[in-house]
Amino acid sequence: MLDATIAAIATPLGEGGLAVIRLSGANAFAIADKCFLPVGKSSLKPSVAPTHTIQFGKITRDGATIDEVLLAVLRAPRTFTREDTVEISCHGGLLPAKLVLDALLASGARQAEPGEFTKRAFLNGRIDLAQAEAVADLIHSRTELALTAANEQLAGKLSHRINQLRDDLMLTLAHVEAHLDFPDEDILPDTKEKLLQRLENGIAFMDELLRTANEGQILRRGIRAAIVGRPNAGKSSLLNQLLGRDRAIVSHLPGTTRDTIEETANIRGIPVVFIDTAGLRGSHDEIEREGIRRSLESLTRSEFILHVLDASEPLTTADEKYFAEFAGKKRIIVRNKTDLAVKMFLPENLLSPTVAVCCVSGQGIELLKDTIKSLVWAGEIKAEMLQVAINSRHQDALNRARSATRQAGDALRSDLTLELVALDLRIAANAVGEVVGKTTTEDLLDSIFSTFCIGK
């Protein structure tokens, strides 16, 4: 795969001021030479230009000019992929970028696969697998906290700790295998105690990392919250207040929302996907019934709900029914329309947090945001946690490593054969190595990098 020189458009498709086409591989300069015509006395062909310089000229094909461009010459190994790289900035728009890319492909480049530039950076040793994943996290960040976590992982904060953990496991394995080579020599009691303590320290460290899994996944993919309640309780108004803009149509007529509306909001640094649903009630209208069906479906896919009530009306049997139905979900009771005379009194046995708001004035919305953050994120958001917030793949690898490390410790304490201890330690070290890519498979790499956009 690394023999080919690859090219792709690295900026989003569409009209804009600029578009960037990236070219990487052993023949990057030779291919660029065929397409690039320098303009001006100081501009040079890519093959003879100094590294990390910008050349001005034209991209041509069959003698016809495609576009005026700026061409960056980046010589290996001081590049993202550690290969010779050319980056061409042309005018934005679908056609100029496509024609420049077509000229490079016609000159010998291959269209890059999704994530192939980052995959090459990993395969060429510039970054490890955890850092490669951080590139995708950085691109998809929806809040400043998510961006900070991605930058910390890209800087190698998580990788450093994972490598330290793997080194400790490998050191313990080396001690055990040394005794396997000399079976007549028993492990001294104080030596065994030191090995066991090292394993316990490793387990404690894995537990520390595993505790960040939930928060890490929330930062990366967000958390889903369904806004539910009877018609005309103010669900769409609440969505607009949480988003800070008019996204949903608001009307005094019940049943205005016929379908679910999904939008992401930054709630105290946490990306929350709010789903405005159709009002829950019996209906003879076929379209409204379909909207209610979708609302109930959204409920099952949501991590928590905002149950909106109209505080200006007395509690109804329908409200009590929904209290019971939603009892198994994480929820916040939102008492809306508190600017009017309050006629609703809630049951005393409700265990869910309750927030009073007015979606007309915005009163209580900031308190609601604090309550949402407290519900989905335990404790304070600390900088140290952002440095090592793991994803679901890391969580799976560390769970397997923890189990194998625990088994190795139990076998060592029980004076079982050292071959079993060594086997478990190898399993643990390999599982930890998966996090940073020191032990991996082609299928795993394909799975990870296929989620990247083309050109990255």
Q: What is the pLDDT of residues 246-285, one digit of tens each?
A: 765 554 544 444 456 788 888 888 888 888 876 555 555 5
Contact 131, 449 (CB under 8 A): no
Please give the backbone phi and psi of residue 369, each rounded to the nearest 5 degrees, phi first. -60, -40
Question: What is the per-residue pLDDT for 318?
Answer: 77
Closest CA to 209 of 405, 370, 371, 374: 405
Query: 256 or 164, which is more confident?
Result: 164
Neighbouring C-alpha atoms within 13 Å toward the C-beta of 208: 15
CA distance 139 to 120: 18
pLDDT mean across residues, the chain: 85
Spatial distance between the Cα atoms of 162 and 456, rounded to a whole number of angstroms: 25
Q: Provide φ and ψ at 223, rounded to 5°.
A: -130, 140
Across residues 319-336, what is the average pLDDT? 82
Q: How many CB atoms lie within 10 A of CB 268?
A: 16
pLDDT at 60 over 90: yes
Integer angstrom CA distances of residue 160 from 133, 193, 217, 450: 15, 26, 20, 25
Has this prediction a pTM greater than 0.85?
Answer: no
DSSP output for 354-422: EEE-BTTTTBTHHHHHHHHHHHHS-S---HHHHHH---HHHHHHHHHHHHHHHHHHHHHHTT--HHHHH
Give the pLDDT mean for 185-205. Answer: 83
What is the per-residue pLDDT across 120-152, written as a single tens digit (0 to 9) for each? Answer: 999 999 999 999 999 988 888 888 888 888 898
Helix, strand, coil tally for the chain in percent (to 5): 45, 20, 35
Residue 98 has pLDDT above 50, yes or no: yes
The C-alpha atoms of residue 237 and residue 247 are separated, in whole angstroms, by: 9
Predicted pLDDT of residue 290: 61
At 329, is the secondary structure helix, strand, or coil? coil
Topology at the third CATH level for domain 132-212+390-449 = Four Helix Bundle (Hemerythrin (Met), subunit A) (1.20.120)
CA distance 195 to 326: 50
Phi and psi, residue 448, nearest 5°: -70, -50
Query: How many Cα neighbours within 13 Å face the side chain of 235?
Result: 30
What's the one-letter identity of residue 23? L
Q: CB–CB of 132/121 below 8 Å?
A: yes
The pLDDT value recorded for residue 163 is 94
Q: Looking at the predicted structure, is the pLDDT value of residue 382 above 70?
A: no
How confident is the model at residue 58, as a pLDDT? 96
- The per-residue pLDDT for 285 is 55
Is residue 189 over pLDDT 80?
A: no
pLDDT of residue 84: 97
Residue range(s) of every CATH 1.20.120.430 domain in the chain: 132-212+390-449
Mean pLDDT calculated for residue range 186-206 = 85
In which residue ranges of the chain is CATH 3.40.50.300 found?
Answer: 219-376
Q: Give me the pLDDT at residue 213, please.
A: 84
By mean pLDDT, which of 35-39, 41-45, 348-352 is the weakest?
348-352
Q: Where in the chain is the domain with CATH 3.30.1360.120?
A: 6-112
Mean pLDDT for 236-245 is 84
Distance of alpha carbon 263 from alpha carbon 142, whole angstroms: 12
Of the ranges 49-53, 65-69, 86-90, 269-273, which one carries the lowest mean pLDDT score?
Answer: 269-273
Cα–Cα distance list, 441 to 21, 208, 391, 446 (Å): 30, 27, 18, 9
List of residues 6+ apart from 33 with CB closer than 8 A: 45, 46, 47
pLDDT for position 184? 59
330 and 375 Cβ atoms separated by less than 8 Å: yes
Given a contact cutoff of 8 angstroms between Cβ atoms, the answer to whether 334 and 368 are in contact is yes
> For 384-441, how does the pLDDT look when each residue is reduced to its tens digit (9 = 90+)?
666 677 888 999 999 999 999 999 999 988 888 888 999 999 999 999 999 999 887 7
> Please, which pLDDT band fits residue 289 given cuts at 50, 70 and 90?
low
Residue 96 vs residue 252, higher pLDDT: 96
Q: Is 44 helix (H, G, I), strand (E, B) or coil?
A: coil
Q: State the alpha helices, DSSP H only, in 107-212.
A: 116-123, 129-139, 144-154, 157-181, 189-210
pLDDT tops 90 at residue 205: yes
Question: What mean pLDDT is predicted for residues 74-87?
Answer: 96
User: Is the CATH number 3.40.50.300 carried by domain 219-376?
Assistant: yes
C-alpha–C-alpha distance, residues 79 and 91, integer Å: 24
Judged by average pLDDT, the poorest of 17-26, 223-232, 385-394 is 385-394
pLDDT for res 394: 92
Cα–Cα distance measured from residue 347 to residue 353, given in angstroms and rounded to the nearest whole number? 13
The class that CATH gives domain 6-112 is alpha beta
DSSP symbol at 26: T
